[in-house]
A = this chain, B = another copy of it.
């Protein structure tokens, strides 16, 4: 995987989509040029998640968009996603790699440069680093990473750094200038009034400031 392939990276959450379905949010973000979609649905049954995942896979495939499933390796396999995103307490990396194969994209959430270096040793394909800024989406996080923290991690490892947490079109340039290879957003897109337009603006910023 090239270092910038993940591009503008949407993390979904139907409960954060102000009345719209995740399918609708994804469809509009895909039309706006999103590069990666991570399905992260906390309030769905596994059955609903698999059904949604298959629909999202169809749309993302059509547009050449990368699809990542949060936490569930089995759901990723069932819907033929491109990979999984795992937290520190989720599925072990080595088991995920064994089940998904060498070509799968496996991402791991990290808080700092030390965890990032360890993640690289484990053979993950990218790290999700955050929270960069203050965010309402996650409350159980470590201290804010900030642009300086991004630069520190980018310096230390050779795999892509996906920055996440409080990123929107007003601060995305700073995140990219600090060296992030990809910008992940949740509510900047899921709560946007015009999702396609908002995505397009983020994609423009990404293209202008990408490494």
A: residues with CB less than 8 A from B are 45-48, 50-51, 71-75, 77-78, 88-92, 95-96, 98-99
Interface SS, A side: helix
Give the distance to chain B from A108, nearest Cβ to Cβ, in Å: 12
Q: How far is the CA of A74 from the CA of B95 in the complex (A)?
A: 9
- A76's closest neighbor in chain B, by CB? B74
Give the distance to chain B from A113, nearest Cβ to Cβ, in Å: 22
Q: How far is the CA of A73 from the CA of B72 in the complex (A)?
A: 9
Q: How far is the CA of A77 from the CA of B98 in the complex (A)?
A: 10
Stoichiometry, copies per complex: 2
* Pair A99/B71 contact, Cβ less than 8 Å: no
Pick the 10 closest A-B CB pairs, nearest first. A45-B89, A74-B74, A73-B74, A78-B95, A46-B90, A47-B89, A46-B91, A77-B99, A50-B92, A47-B92
Most B-side CB within 10 Å, residue of A45, A71, A74, A88: A74
Residues of B contacting A90 with CB < 8 Å? 45-47
28 inter-chain pairs at a CB distance below 8 angstroms, sorted by A residue, are: A45-B89, A45-B90, A46-B71, A46-B89, A46-B90, A46-B91, A47-B88, A47-B89, A47-B90, A47-B91, A47-B92, A48-B89, A50-B92, A50-B95, A72-B72, A72-B74, A73-B74, A73-B78, A74-B91, A74-B96, A74-B99, A75-B91, A77-B99, A78-B91, A78-B92, A78-B95, A78-B98, A78-B99
